Amino acid sequence: MSKIFFDVFPTLKVNDEIRMLFESVQVEKVSTNRQRDFINVFLFSDHLIQKRHIYSMEGMIKDQLFARVPVRVTIFEHFQLSEQYTPENLMREYYDSLMLEAAQRSVVESNMLKTAEYTVKNDKTICLKLKDTVIAHGKQESIVSLIRNVFEERFHVPVEIQVEYEEVKDSKLKFNESRLQQEVNAIMERNHALHEERAEQEKEKEEKAEKKEKATIDKPKGKKQNSRSNLQELVITVVAAIVKNGVVAAEVVVFLIVSRMIRI
């Protein structure tokens, strides 16, 4: 059963703007894990709340209620808005929040949205125009996923997203992309060299281990061969004793053999 936000967090001290935004918001659920190193707060609102205010509230809950506890507070909000919030109006009203949320994941993605252009067709298709760069192509899926999740899971408004590219006219952008690609290539070369160096070190270790193991195996073999040789000499001695001195002398020699075998 949901409760009013300030009934769940009655001791929170907030300014008038924040109080007005959250006073009618409902808390649907508060969850944590066994380690209690995070707290998830699930909110429902019938009016739009910008992401900067959501992040601000996360900080106030953490600082005022869990200041001495190593816990991360995350708010998951969703809305049921009036029909006037079409995809076009939402893009216009919420675009800054999209950029802010993208910045939490990647500054690159935030800058891509900042330089992008968009239009809305058929009241359900968002056409996003990005700069035609290697980075933009690499980040396209992540950007599309962010926008789609916000519209469908947060606003419950299904949309289609199309991505177009326009040629980069700003020489500074081209220079930055070229420089970034050079840095990526340099990192890959260093990683390749490091991998080869480590492989060579592992090979040397294996060779040393094999030599050591071989030396350990060969050593007992020599001892075993010497033991067999000594045993053969003792047997010959027994036979000779039997022939020359009789059984008594042989028994003494057998005792010596047994003693020698134990030492071997």
Taking only the tens place, the pLDDT of each residue in 190-229 is: 777 787 788 878 777 777 777 777 777 665 555 445 555 5
Cα–Cα distance between 151 and 59 in angstroms, integer?
25
Which residues, including other chains, have CB under 8 Å from residue 81's CB and lie 6 or more apart? 46, 47, 48, 155
User: Picking from 40-49, 79-88, 249-258, which range would have the lowest pLDDT averaged per residue?
Assistant: 249-258
DSSP secondary structure code for residue 152 in this structure: I
The two beta strands, 3-4 and 38-45, are unpaired
Cα–Cα distance between 119 and 130 in angstroms, integer?
12
Instruction: Compute the average pLDDT of residues 23-32.
Output: 97
Res 180 pLDDT > 60: yes
Res 183 pLDDT > 70: no
- Per mean pLDDT, which of 5-9, 65-69, 184-188, 208-212 is the most reliable? 5-9
Where residue 60 falls among pLDDT bands split at 50, 70, 90? very high
pLDDT for res 98: 97
pTM for this prediction:
0.65
**Radius of gyration of the chain from its Cα atoms, rounded to whole angstroms:** 39
C-alpha atoms less than 13 angstroms from C-alpha of 190 in its C-beta half-sphere: 6
Mean residue pLDDT of the chain comes to 83
Exposure class string for 161-182: b at 16+ Cβ within 10 A, else e: bebeeeebeeeeeeeebeeeee
Six-digit token string for 128: 């996003």
Where residue 137 falls among pLDDT bands split at 50, 70, 90? very high
